[in-house]
Amino acid sequence: MTSGLRASHVLDFAFDRSVGGATAAFLTGLARAELVGSRDSHGRVTVPPVDGGDIVRVADTGVVRAWSWVAEPDPRHPLGTPFAFALIQLDGADTSLLHVVDVESEDALLVGLRVRADWRTERRGSVLDLRAFVPGSAGPAPASCEPPEPLRVADERPVSYVFEPGIVLSEFYRSLAQRRIEGGRCANCNDVYVPPHERCPACGSGPMVIVPVADTGTVVSFTVVHVPVAGFDADVPFAWARIMLDGADVPIPHVLGEVDLDRVFVGQRVEAVWSAHADDAASWEAIRHFSPVMPA
């Protein structure tokens, strides 16, 4: 049996968010190379601070309470060399702060090890302004750095996943790499779907019969996009259309290229423009775009 395709992907969501309350106090302190916590009604100091308590400053020195050694850092880790994630009880605090300790080897770590903050020269109000904790009791005072007003936090949420389309869809993508478009015909209702499915989406019968479909078709609807699309390499504005390929009964979405946007219309005849590297692209990227069919 032909094996299915597999492809690794990363979705990267970058955004800014505003902060307030105890979080704003903590991040503002970091920009100034200061650590703050919150004191509750019983006098207990928590770091990072929580809303509802009085904001108090604590030292940027403390002791290691526990750690986990990272022998092989990956690109998502804050340091590129082996380090430890550690719980550090700062002087003046009653709780521990999770951060990293930069030492040459795990042998240098022990419960009760005195450490100090190693601050970055340029700071912007982030927990990464504190590069790491290093062994020692005190360090040089860093230069003052005022956070931007109002304080906004640059955040990023990368999501990694592996896409496995299955046997039927894998064969469809492989056909695109060979500059062919295949559809699936339902043996019961006779409709042709592009791409093909294991079973008919309408009546559920299957398996579908693989049939060739033309790389020409008709625009059945379209929209003109004026806002850049992350991860999509196309200059705006551009037209995105639903195209009924000749021999298919269900339209496919794709971009229109080499077209006057003022002259796109429903019923327009178009044809696939294949990528020069289509032989290497077992994906929709094998088709660069659809363009109007030139009159004979």
- High-pLDDT (> 90) share of the chain, %: 70
12-21, 270-279, 282-291 — which is least confidently predicted? 12-21
- pLDDT digits 0-9 by tens, 52-79: 999 999 999 999 999 999 999 998 899 9
The dihedral sign for the CA sequence 227, 232, 236, 238 = negative
- pLDDT digits 0-9 by tens, 166-225: 899 999 999 999 999 999 999 999 999 999 999 999 999 989 999 999 999 999 999 999
Q: What angle do CA 254, 256, 259 make, to 5 degrees?
A: 175
Which residue in this structure is represented by tokens 């770091």? Answer: 47
Q: Are strands 35-39 and 7-18 parallel, antiparallel or unpaired?
A: unpaired
Q: Specify which of 22-31, 106-115, 229-238, 279-288 reaches the highest per-range mean pLDDT.
A: 106-115
The dihedral sign for the CA sequence 253, 258, 262, 266 = negative
Closest CA to 279 of 177, 126, 141, 127: 177
Closest CA to 99 of 120, 78, 81, 73: 78
Q: Using omega within 30 degrees of 0 as the cis cutoff, is the peptide bond preceding 49 cis?
A: no
